[in-house]
Structure 1
Amino acid sequence: MVFAFAVSAACCLGIGFVLQQNAAQRAPMSDFLSLRLLLDLVRMPRWLTGIGMMVCGMVLGAIALSQGEVSLVEPLLATNLLFAMALSRWQTRQPLGRSGWGGLWLLAGGVAAFIVAGQPHGGATVTDPLRHWLIIGIMIGGALALAAASKRARMSIEAPLLAVAAGMLYGVQDALTRVSGKQLSKEGLTAFFLSWQPYAVLALGLTALLFVQSAFETAPLRMSLPALTAAQPLAGIACGVGFLGDRLDTSPGALAWQVTGLVAIVIGIVLIGRHPAMPSGTAEVDRVRDLQPH
């Protein structure tokens, strides 16, 4: 069931990201990294559909995280790029070609290699609060630093910086979602609402959403989605192993395959993200506009 919910979540997320980017490209650049961007986008039906798909993906992902370890669920969520690729390929009618198929097999094979070699399983949750806050602080601080740097960066790296920042926040959000789910099942609704984690999940989600939409607004999907998709599982796995007590096989052979799997995932993500089927910017937006009824 963990696999089913995680892959279903990835499907919803991938489709949702494409629809959101289609709409965000039309937003005025004056809204960059401003809450006004979300207020403008909320009036676009395509964006609302994309957000609806993303919310469905997050709910399914939360169910998967409540049943399985973060280190298991995060690599599966990274397959959202395969579904984004499928929708983009349908929109653009581009064949996959060698790079597309290569990226697909590297991503799928990398996820399988990491899970089979690592055998993620639960352990005792780390109780040291300093370790919790250190890891969370590094992730959130790094994400905010990247977002600040994106304001001064060249246009070509602005979107990837924001996407990595969003991916780091989403990784922390997934870890805290698992904590909140455990708390709800063990301690009940009152303790759930009195704890800080659910509110941190909402704050992280809203901030990451602003970063993602700003990245989608400033550059083609191929410039942002690969960075987002690669950063989220790495951040989530770091949190899972760092303070949630996730355990991985640490024998030399297993570690080698895990590293190989993670490298294959990142390379596959980059290859798929840079494929011509991915929306390339204003030309794609203009094509979508032309297809709409007047």
Structure 2
Amino acid sequence: MTVLAAVIALVGSLFFALGAALQQFEAAGTAKPGLLALLRRPRWLLGGASILAGGGLHIVALGLGPLTVVQPMGVASLLFALPLAAALHGRRPARNELAAAGVVAIGLIGLVLLVPESDGPTHLSPNGVLTLLAVAGIAAVLLWAGSKAASPAGRAALLATSSGVLYGATATLVRVLVDGGWNWWYLLALPVPALLALVMLQRAYAVGHFGVSFASLQITDPLTAVAFGALLLGEPLPTGILPVLAALLTAAGTVALARTSPLEAHREPA
């Protein structure tokens, strides 16, 4: 069952990578990609369906195998996404680009595996939900504001990080709803960070540095969820030197990826 879980998670990562590449291809080169305009593009919708399929397969894999096997397979989507995006833009990914993505993946796998598992149901008070949304919103706005003065690669990274923070808040809310009991008020709050995250991600994709934006999202989303879990849910954080080394490796890989990821504009594939 563990092998089956790993295979399903790997296939899910491929679907997730394909969806991200398709959505970035449609958003690339536009100054402010609106969701209404993107919703009229079949390839962007196909990308969304592929992402949903990847998420569903990941959930199935978690039901069949341990987290320590499934989560690293999820990180593989970064390594799948770069060649897929390059093919859509009519080029081949450079070796140093793939090498930098590999460094990011190794560091992120280390961080994911070092996070202690929490026991028991989770609970978040209404004040905790407001705190969650406020902190995530303020962080997202600050990152968005900072992106306006950054280089193209930096802008892609900051916008995607803003999206990752909002997706991390969304993931925290989902976990509370699943583990702590359904609450209609929480359900009303759930779409707010999710939709804002989607908008920020499309703006990051529009910049053109897909590798940077996708890597930043892959890093920020789970780490934000872990941080909110520790601050608001009392969940344990990893300790020791290994998490620090994994974080440094991830940061170094992201910087290298920012230097090697090409600036891509939208054009029809050959």
Which TM-score bucket, shorter chain as reference? 0.7 to 0.9
Deviation at 1:15, TM superposition (A): 1.7
| Residues 1:231 and 2:209 are matched in the alignment | no
Q: Could you say which residue in structure 2 is the equivalent of 1:286?
A: 267
Q: Could you say which residue in structure 1 is the equivalent of 2:235?
A: 246
**One-letter amino acid of the counterpart of residue 23, structure 2:** Q
1:164-192 Cα shifts (integer Å, max 9, x gaps): 11110011111111122224xxx5xxxx3
Deviation at 1:99, TM superposition (A): 5.1
User: Please, which runs of 5 or more residues in structure 1 have no aligned partner?
Assistant: none
Q: Any idea what SS the aligned residue of 1:153 has? A: coil
Rounded to whole Å, the distance in 1 between the matches of 2:68 and 2:225 is: 7
Aligned pairs, number: 265
| Residues 1:266 and 2:255 are matched in the alignment | no
* RMSD, matched Cα: 3.7
Deviation at 1:132, TM superposition (A): 5.5
Q: Any idea what SS the aligned residue of 1:179 has? A: helix
Q: Any idea what SS the aligned residue of 2:245 has? A: helix
| Residues 1:83 and 2:66 are matched in the alignment | no
Q: Any idea what SS the aligned residue of 1:16 has? A: helix
Q: Could you say which residue in structure 1 is the equivalent of 2:241?
A: 256
Rounded to whole Å, the distance in 1 between the matches of 2:145 and 2:164 is: 15
Q: Could you say which residue in structure 1 is the equivalent of 2:38?
A: 41
Decide whether the 8 Å contact of 2:143 with 2:158 is kept in 1: yes
Deviation at 1:51, TM superposition (A): 1.3
Q: Any idea what SS the aligned residue of 2:267 has? A: helix
| Structure 1 range deviating more: 228-237 or 119-128 | 119-128
User: Please, which runs of 5 or more residues in structure 2 have no aligned partner?
Assistant: none
| Structure 1 range deviating more: 158-167 or 65-74 | 65-74
Q: Could you say which residue in structure 2 is the equivalent of 1:23?
A: 26
Deviation at 1:135, TM superposition (A): 4.5
Q: Could you say which residue in structure 1 is the equivalent of 2:190?
A: 201
Q: Could you say which residue in structure 2 is the equivalent of 1:103?
A: 101
Q: Any idea what SS the aligned residue of 1:247 has? A: coil
Which has the higher Rg, Structure 1 or Structure 2? Answer: 1
| Structure 1 range deviating more: 237-246 or 15-24 | 237-246
TM-score, length-scaled by structure 1: 0.72
Q: Percent identity?
A: 27
| Structure 1 range deviating more: 167-176 or 77-86 | 77-86
1:34-53 Cα shifts (integer Å, max 9, x gaps): xxx11111121111111111
TM-score, length-scaled by structure 2: 0.77
Given the superposition, is the C-alpha separation of residues 110 and 63 from structure 1 closer, same or farther in structure 2, using an over 3 Å criterion?
A: same
1:145-160 equivalent positions in 2, closer than 5 A = 145-150=142-147, 152-153=148-149, 156=152, 157-160=154-157
Deviation at 1:238, TM superposition (A): 0.6
Q: Any idea what SS the aligned residue of 1:286 has? A: coil
Decide whether the 8 Å contact of 2:28 with 2:206 is kept in 1: yes
| Residues 1:182 and 2:179 are matched in the alignment | yes
Given the superposition, is the C-alpha separation of residues 132 and 97 from structure 1 closer, same or farther in structure 2, using an over 3 Å criterion?
A: same
**One-letter amino acid of the counterpart of residue 54, structure 1:** I
Rounded to whole Å, the distance in 1 between the matches of 2:230 and 2:141 is: 22
Rounded to whole Å, the distance in 1 between the matches of 2:226 and 2:42 is: 34
Decide whether the 8 Å contact of 1:3 with 1:73 is kept in 2: yes
Decide whether the 8 Å contact of 2:25 with 2:85 is kept in 1: no
